[in-house]
Amino acid sequence: MKNDLVLRVVGKLLIPFILLFALYVQFHGDFGPGGGFQAGVILAAAMVFYALIFGVDTARRVMPDWLVETMLAAGVLIYAGVGLAGLLLGGNYLDYFVLDADPVHGQHRGIFWVEVGVATTVSGVMLKIFYLFASRGDADAGDGDGRRED
Amino acid sequence: MALTVLMLMRVRNLFAVIVLFGIYSFLMATVLVALDAVDVAMTEAAVGAGVSTVLLLGALHLCKSREAKPAHRPWLPLAVALSTGLVLVYGAMGLPDFADPLSPIHAHVVPRYLQNEVQVPNVVTAVLASFRGYDTLGETTVVFTAGAGIIALLRRRKKVENDRKDRV
């Protein structure tokens, strides 16, 4: 699909808006429908869309494997870290009330970081699965497997 | 939706099956919107219709595009599925009416959730991230484990292939 002009142009037009929508879903999740999981999936979908149009290797240059794998683990760590922060500040595990002097504000802060963690892990996992499947197909077709040794 | 499912059963071309799965997911998302579950509808549309369709297409790329003829007659699985369905329908008849405010699920912790002491306008987010924070942490860990498992499975395969190439 790399040489399809219509797809390339439409993709270039749409992908920024998909990314923007993902951010909107992420950060507006407190007020409207949405949240970390949905935002992560939309983010991953945007990248998959990009990879489908411009090729997996180009997508790997935008989001290399090490970044995706770091995201995979970093999300869970962010989430668990919020819990630990609650512990260190004198509350229970995952207790957001202590994260700020104002308990309600502390809740908002806690929810914000938790959602960031969820989005990071989800988009990382989705992208990683996609990369693995896509590169397997390439390896079978015989044109190099783009996987970096790490 | 019923039509989609019937076609899913009949069609043998796997590409058509994947597209029908996507259509089914979108229809499911509209049903969820009609039930006022916008958050779930969004997830269904993005995961069910979007990402999993692409992943299934990626898997299809690796195998044949036609489903093999089943080796056995489908009567036993059909009977099991039908009887399970009947039991579920029978069980569902015992549930309280849809949106009944007096049903047990709405009388227990939901009033406290709806008081909204965390003051997040979207109650779904409040419940998921704050009241049920442990659950969501577990879910995130499940997603992470799934990713790690897939990495472990598909990578090792590749390494073996590479070794074989090296030896040859």
More confident residue, B160 or A57: A57
Size of interface A-B (CB pairs under 8 A): 146
Distance of residue B111 Cα from the nearest chain A Cα, in angstroms: 19
SS3 B131: helix
CA dist list (Å): B129 to A28, A82, B29, B140: 14, 11, 22, 11
Whether the pLDDT of residue B55 is over 60: the answer is: yes
- pLDDT on residue B84: 95
Q: Residue A110 and residue B124: Cα distance in Å, rounded?
A: 15
Which DSSP category does B120 fall into?
-
Whether the pLDDT of residue B167 is over 80: the answer is: no
Please write the tens of the pLDDT for every residue from B111-148.
777 776 667 777 777 777 777 888 888 888 998 998 88
- pLDDT on residue B155: 75
What residues of chain B lie within 8 A of the CB of A25, using their CB? 42
Please write the tens of the pLDDT for every residue from B81-106.
999 999 999 998 888 777 677 777 77
| Cβ contact, residue pair A94, B118, below 8 Å | no
The b/e string for B127-143 (b: 16+ C-beta within 10 A; e otherwise) is: bbbbbbbeebbebbeeb
Instruction: Sort B82 into a burial class: Cβ within 10 Å, 0-12 / 13-18 / 19+.
Output: exposed
What residues of chain B lie within 8 A of the CB of A128, using their CB? 147, 150-151
In this prediction, residue A146 has a pLDDT band, given cuts at 50, 70 and 90, of very low
- pLDDT on residue A141: 46
- ipTM exceeds 0.85, yes or no: no
